[in-house]
Amino acid sequence: MADFPILGDIGAEEFLADYWQKKPLLVRGAITDFEPPVDGDELAGLALEPEVESRLIVGSDWQMEQGPFDESRFASLPPSNWSLLVQAVDLWVPEVAELLQHFGFLPPWRIDDIMVSYAEDGGGVGPHFDYYDVFLLQGSGRRKWQIGQHCDSNSPVADNANLKILADFAATDEWILEPGDMLYIPPKVAHWGTAVGDCTTFSIGFRAPAATEMLDDLATELLSRGQAPTFLTDPPLRPEMARASISPAYIAQVRSLLLETLNDDQLLAEWFAQYMTEPKYPMLLDETGEKRTASVQTFESDGSAVISHYENGLKA
Ligand SMILES: [Mn+2]
Quote the ligand 1 centre to 170 CA distance (angstroms). Answer: 16
Instruction: Give the global pTM.
Output: 0.94
CA angle 306, 312, 313 (to 5 degrees): 60
Quote the ligand 1 centre to 118 CA distance (angstroms). Answer: 14
Quote the ligand 1 centre to 301 CA distance (angstroms). Answer: 45
Every domain of the chain with CATH number 2.60.120.650 lies at 5-206
The answer to whether the beta carbons of residues 181 and 30 sit under 8 Å apart is yes
Quote the ligand 1 centre to 109 CA distance (angstroms). Answer: 20
Q: Give pLDDT, residue 158.
A: 86
Q: Give pLDDT, residue 161.
A: 59
The answer to whether the beta carbons of residues 128 and 190 sit under 8 Å apart is yes
Quote the ligand 1 centre to 128 CA distance (angstroms). Answer: 6
List 85's β-bridge partners, or say none: 55, 117
Quote the ligand 1 centre to 133 CA distance (angstroms). Answer: 9
With 0-12 / 13-18 / 19 or more C-beta atoms within 10 angstroms meaning exposed / middle / buried, residue 37 is buried
Quote the ligand 1 centre to 58 CA distance (angstroms). Answer: 16
Sheet holding 305-311, edge to edge: 293-299, 305-311, 314-315
Quote the ligand 1 centre to 135 CA distance (angstroms). Answer: 10
Quote the ligand 1 centre to 102 CA distance (angstroms). Answer: 20
Quote the ligand 1 centre to 273 CA distance (angstroms). Answer: 26
Q: Give pLDDT, residue 3.
A: 87
Q: Give pLDDT, residue 2.
A: 67
pLDDT block averages, 10 residues each, the chain of length 316: 87 97 98 98 98 96 95 96 98 98 97 98 95 97 98 87 85 98 98 98 96 97 92 96 95 97 95 97 95 95 94 95
Every domain of the chain with CATH number 3.40.366.30 lies at 211-315
Quote the ligand 1 centre to 126 CA distance (angstroms). Answer: 9
CATH topology classification for 211-315:
Malonyl-Coenzyme A Acyl Carrier Protein; domain 2 (3.40.366)
Q: Give pLDDT, residue 1.
A: 52
Quote the ligand 1 centre to 159 CA distance (angstroms). Answer: 18
Q: What is the pLDDT of residues 251-270, one digit of tens each?
A: 999 999 999 999 999 999 99
Quote the ligand 1 centre to 130 CA distance (angstroms). Answer: 5
The answer to whether the beta carbons of residues 308 and 267 sit under 8 Å apart is no
Which residues have CB under 8 Å from 25's CB, separation 6+?
7, 10, 15, 19, 183, 184
- Rounded to the nearest 10 degrees, what angle do helices 211-224 and 265-276 cross at? 110
**Distance from C-alpha of 273 to C-alpha of 296, rounded to nearest angstrom:** 6
Quote the ligand 1 centre to 20 CA distance (angstroms). Answer: 16
Quote the ligand 1 centre to 191 CA distance (angstroms). Answer: 7
Quote the ligand 1 centre to 295 CA distance (angstroms). Answer: 30
Quote the ligand 1 centre to 244 CA distance (angstroms). Answer: 49
**Distance from C-alpha of 33 to C-alpha of 50, rounded to nearest angstrom:** 33
Mean pLDDT taken over the chain: 95
Quote the ligand 1 centre to 310 CA distance (angstroms). Answer: 30
CATH 2.60.120.650 fits 5-206, yes or no: yes
Q: What stretch of H or E contains 190?
A: strand 189-196
Which residues have CB under 8 Å from 109's CB, separation 6+?
207, 273, 276, 277, 292, 293, 294
Which residues have CB under 8 Å from 315's CB, separation 6+?
270, 274, 308, 309
